[in-house]
Structure 1
């Protein structure tokens, strides 16, 4: 990969997206492209999710992004061995010519998303180029860093959004009129297509358009933190100065913003409700899950609201005591942050009323799928806390102010499928 022309970070601003030689599956060496893909590593939530994906094809990408072995060191070495073997066998092969990649996702409801996959220069926080909006968990960053070091690869792109004026989107749409490099439909019903963008004039047009812009991390805060850690470990210039991303212009292609729910292990719903007495209004809802989520959406228009589940019913929790919020929510943040549902959940409910340590996986699990969260809570006798999503404009404005939201506050989507294009740092 070309790393010429590097200078100190302070001399550059904006998004610098660079072509690379993508690693892609050879369709003749695998059962099907759909069978080797996976959701991002942190979205495999079904109890049998990992086994299901591993069984789909012996070359499924989860064998790289979520290797299974006895110790962390054995897991990362297993991933490195697997990648070396797949490269030697031709299961994965690098494209001959460096390029950016136009990536398209469609679902059966008419949703269309297109963006550009490329190697993005890893900027420092003070540059204000890539805006995080959530905190990260150091053990997860350490795990992802070990995996990337061992494989010397970016195995899946993180998702960034920006607000464009149509220049790059026009190039993307023109490219999407050609025959794609690949097309497949995954089991979730999404259709995926990928094109290579190699024309020097188009690449320069895209790079010029992106140069003054900033991006919001929609999905992949831990991978971005990992890119920054690995860049700091290697003298610049080097391939570690860049990380694999998917950039989506949300002016042209708005993303869906969904909530990430909480599963509170070891906390029965009855105990959770008892602790809320006198502090929140609680109403039992004898309705279906979709209807309960509609009620939650309506309640969220008036203030903080949550749904608790796990005992066969749904309980709407809203109208918190203002005095309680004043005592428990930190006052040194903007009002937009103090009034977030996730802020109230973590500062008031988890820390104060329920006394659940949010940093402990033994106590709190974060699950994207609403029905899966409820099913798991009912299975385990735990409490599911169902959330209403935050609007993208609120997330972006807080990020511009340098204010991070409570971790796992939002789920932007659709997320890119893992396994369609990888980036090897030594190619």
Structure 2
């Protein structure tokens, strides 16, 4: 972790997801790239722009506050979670009090820019994604809700199938609240927006900014896919990278492309410039993620460090960017239990270490702050 990053504060238990009155783009607008213009600069005009969209039928505001059960299906994978206003007004003083656990550090400047943008928009435009292992009784409640008729159901422009249930019954809300209270969750996506929520809460305590929009997914129920984010290293030298890996005591072997890619698994990385291919087995990944080992044990040993690190969500993308002057590092997919164990023991992963997928389309559920 470099000096430009910090760890955002931890929200304290009880974990609370509060009802809110959702703003939703019309089904034909959800997932349409052109709809992003509703949330574009100038940000101070977004609230009026969305009001105009409601008048024209391009968006709709729910009739009353609710906690929402949101299920979406993309590429054959179905994800389901509770969407509500995450209370962020309490800070944890000790690890046992923590309800929300970041697994990456953040850049304060980026969080500040997001906070300023949301303040101008007076809107949480999309939920951050949280994951946890929920209690069995909570899964039973969610399953019972999902067996009912959805309040909204449609196929969006991006091909995601959306189903949404509004939870308004006071008894049901109380039951969900009680079952969530002791939960601890990991931030899957939205570290900088989470930090922006905290900054806005500090600036505007006792207001709607005491909470920020979040979706909580149970990894035991409908898990998000957890994939690796691969690296290319412009300006680095593959032989030097291989040599640095060998000095750690790792098992390094040269192979052809097919055998190297076939060896990419939970215990091995691949280094390549698309001409030469090497597999690397660190041998000590029980308590350390492969991506952390790369950054902490290998890149720090290079006499001539790379100019920058570029990130790629697929092997094909990483290989397309690789060359003799830009070696690629292909990483194994991390394990959720391992990530959680590292974080809860006080560790962090490097920036862009995990890719939780799929994410919901933009515009399904938004939270207007002037109506919270």
> 1: distance between equivalents of 2:302 and 2:181?
47
Is 1:425 the counterpart of 2:362? The answer is no
TM-score normalized by the length of structure 2: 0.83
Query: Among 400, 409, 412, which residue is 2:353 paired with?
Result: 409
Residue 326 (structure 1) aligns with: none
Is 1:120 the counterpart of 2:93? The answer is no
Alignment of 1:174-189 (within 5 A): 174-177=144-147, 178-185=149-156, 187=158
Query: Among 243, 248, 251, which residue is 2:212 paired with?
Result: 243
Equivalent residues of 1:283, 1:317 under 8 A apart? no
Equivalent residues of 1:275, 1:354 under 8 A apart? no
Deviation at 1:273, TM superposition (A): 4.3
Deviation at 1:268, TM superposition (A): 5.4
Give the 3 Å change call, closer, same or farther, for CA 271–425 of structure 1 in structure 2. Answer: same
Give the 3 Å change call, closer, same or farther, for CA 82–313 of structure 1 in structure 2. Answer: farther
> 2: distance between equivalents of 1:148 and 1:136?
17
SS at match of 2:69: strand
Residue 64 (structure 2) aligns with: 97
Mind listing any 5+ residue stretches in structure 1 that lack a counterpart?
1-9, 37-52, 68-76, 323-334
> 1: distance between equivalents of 2:44 and 2:239?
47
Residue 233 (structure 1) aligns with: 203
> 1: distance between equivalents of 2:296 and 2:359?
29
Residue 256 (structure 2) aligns with: 285
Equivalent residues of 2:67, 2:84 under 8 A apart? yes
Deviation at 1:15, TM superposition (A): 0.9
> 2: distance between equivalents of 1:311 and 1:373?
10
Alignment of 1:18-417 (within 5 A): 18-27=18-27, 32-36=28-32, 53=33, 58-59=34-35, 61=36, 64=39, 67=40, 77-90=41-54, 91-109=58-76, 111-122=77-88, 123-126=90-93, 127-177=97-147, 178-185=149-156, 187=158, 190-235=160-205, 237-267=206-236, 269=238, 272-273=241-242, 281-287=252-258, 292-297=260-265, 300-301=266-267, 305-311=268-274, 314-319=277-282, 337=287, 339-353=288-302, 355-356=304-305, 363-378=308-323, 382-417=326-361
Judging by fraction of residues, say which structure has more helix.
1
Give the 3 Å change call, closer, same or farther, for CA 63–259 of structure 1 in structure 2. Answer: farther
Residue 4 (structure 2) aligns with: none
Deviation at 1:292, TM superposition (A): 4.6
> 2: distance between equivalents of 1:318 and 1:88?
57
TM-score normalized by the length of structure 1: 0.74
> 1: distance between equivalents of 2:276 and 2:46?
45
Equivalent residues of 2:38, 2:50 under 8 A apart? no
> 2: distance between equivalents of 1:114 and 1:349?
38
Give the 3 Å change call, closer, same or farther, for CA 352–80 of structure 1 in structure 2. Answer: farther
> 2: distance between equivalents of 1:293 and 1:124?
45
SS at match of 2:130: strand
Deviation at 1:353, TM superposition (A): 1.6
Equivalent residues of 1:336, 1:398 under 8 A apart? no
> 2: distance between equivalents of 1:255 and 1:319?
27
After superposition, give the CA deviation of every residue in 1:376-420 in whole Å (9 maximum; x if it has no partner): 335x95222111122111111222223222222222233233221
Q: What is the count of residue pairs matched by the alignment? A: 353
Equivalent residues of 2:70, 2:80 under 8 A apart? yes
After superposition, give the CA deviation of every residue in 1:241-297 in whole Å (9 maximum; x if it has no partner): 10111111222223322111122233354664466566652413322xxx7544110
Give the 3 Å change call, closer, same or farther, for CA 423–159 of structure 1 in structure 2. Answer: same
Deviation at 1:310, TM superposition (A): 4.1
Deviation at 1:19, TM superposition (A): 0.5
> 1: distance between equivalents of 2:98 and 2:13?
8
> 1: distance between equivalents of 2:63 and 2:194?
27
Mind listing any 5+ residue stretches in structure 2 that lack a counterpart?
1-9
> 1: distance between equivalents of 2:198 and 2:100?
11
> 1: distance between equivalents of 2:224 and 2:48?
35
Equivalent residues of 2:272, 2:328 under 8 A apart? yes
After superposition, give the CA deviation of every residue in 1:162-197 in whole Å (9 maximum; x if it has no partner): 22223332332233231341322554x543322222
